[in-house]
Amino acid sequence: MKVLVTGAAGFIGYHVARRLAELKKCEVLGVDNMGDYYDVALKRARLAELGALEDFRFLQADFADAEKFAGLVAHFKPDYVVHLGAQPGVRYSMENPAAYTHSNLAGFAGVLEACRRTPPKHLVFASSSSVYGAGATPPFREDDNTDRPVSFYGATKKANELMAHSYALNHGLNVTGLRFFTVYGPWGRPDMAPTLFARAISEGQPLKLFNQGKNLRDFTYVDDIVDGVVKVLLYPPAERPTPPVRIFNLGHHRPIETLLFVKMLEQLLGRAAQVDLLPPQPGDMLETCADLTRVQAAIGFAPKVPLEEGLRRFVEWFRGYYRP
């Protein structure tokens, strides 16, 4: 079995590629453009971990280069494709929308076209809880209206779902989109809340909490996300829907206030935070919470790692990697 994973040097991509490469008789090809949105040394460190696995290979390439990527897919002929590569970050999409147009729109179009030319058994791609946007009422359900994203990042992920629908309808691609909810854990990105907060607490720096720290987030441990990705990928529906496209939430279904999240980190790090409470930030959603009814019925998905345990594992990795 051959699996192509884009974004393999990224946070979730690293964990998914690792899980797949550790399966018996699963050959994994990881692809990443090694962009410098954040410290490339962290991406290299992830790849060094993956490089020790016998069934993992890596190729630096940009899936937004449509013709080259299509040639790569045609040569490798993957049985399955997991598309996790993207330009991430809600707030950065306000500053540099062109990066999101390149990776999330043109890039995803290149992935779809490559899969049309060399069809895998199943294409699974990362969407986001950011698609729900304004007017969504928690817990968010997959059939809720998603026509009012509050960030450009969310808009590009909504566009991805529509693009996938058109390719499934017109070309028969078997596609599943996964809306991730606030993923955290070891090897997380430095621009994400857990690492930002942990570094500020460890260094005694002010920690900015928007909306007075009252934003509610459905923090989901990365191992639970990986469980969902792999189960969805390897077990597509026995009867193909028409068109053959599905959308699932992957979350924890237990949102907490970011201020409480910080207090939990304080206890684990043994230091008090210098909290700066600020007004709401443009582009931020005030609350996220995943309804898991659909994905539980389809693959039996149920998150297993409570926030207390997940944060303990994150802090252990954080101390080992950053040595604050």
Q: Is 153 a catalytic residue?
A: yes
Distance CA 192, CA 310 (A): 15
Distances (CA, A) of 228 to 70, 225, 302: 27, 5, 8
Tokens of 47: 């790849």
Q: What is the DSSP letter of 55?
A: T
Nearest alpha carbon to residue 111 among 75, 170, 69, 165: 69
In this structure, the dihedral spanned by the alpha carbons of residues 200, 203, 205 and 209, taken in order and rounded to 10 degrees, is: 10
Terminal alpha carbon distance of the chain: 41
Distances (CA, A) of 170 to 34, 116, 165, 306: 32, 10, 9, 41
Q: Label residue 189 left, alpha or beta by phi (over 0 means left) and psi (-120 to 50 means alpha).
A: beta
Distances (CA, A) of 309 to 28, 78, 184, 190: 29, 35, 12, 20
Nearest alpha carbon to residue 66 among 6, 5, 107: 107
- Output phi, psi for 2, to 5 deg: -115, 130
Q: Identify the active-site residue in 14, 38, 153, 184.
A: 153
Beta bridge partners of 140: 290
Structural contact between residues 60 and 90, judged by C-beta atoms closer than 8 angstroms: no
Structural contact between residues 249 and 142, judged by C-beta atoms closer than 8 angstroms: yes
Give the catalytic positions in this structure.
153
